[in-house]
Amino acid sequence: MKRLIHIGAALAVLSVAAEPRAGATINPSPTVTFEAVDRITAGGTEEFFIGGLVQGETQARTILFYVNDSETREVCRQFALLAQSKPGRYLLTIDVATHYVCTLVRR
């Protein structure tokens, strides 16, 4: 049985950074699912980077997530840390389409 941990923030406001750092891409699609998380980097006060293997891809990459809702950003960052602690055990999905939603699913 999969356990689903889900949190959303209805009022999160997303912004796009002017320039990605160190080869990171900025939210390439409305939803990103990581099979494995290799790296988490806290940037400025409104950004964090997650590096790892994105579902359906064969090469790891780093993606910049930029959101000004600190509570939601912190929860998503903690989900990423949990996914990193047990590679391949969790799927981490970050949906930035309308509202900032992070989902962590145990396989």
What Cα–Cα distance (Å) separates residue 58 from each residue in 9, 15, 35, 79, 105?
31, 28, 10, 22, 21
In the chain, the number of structural domains is 1
Residue 106 predicted with pLDDT over 90: yes
pLDDT at 37: 95
pLDDT at 26: 66
What Cα–Cα distance (Å) separates residue 50 from each residue in 11, 17, 44, 63, 71?
22, 15, 14, 5, 17
Structural domain harbouring 33: 4-106
Summarised one tens digit per residue, pLDDT across range 32-91 is 999 999 999 877 777 888 999 999 999 999 988 887 788 888 888 899 999 999 988 999
pLDDT at 18: 29
What Cα–Cα distance (Å) separates residue 38 from each residue in 32, 35, 42, 60, 84?
15, 10, 14, 8, 6
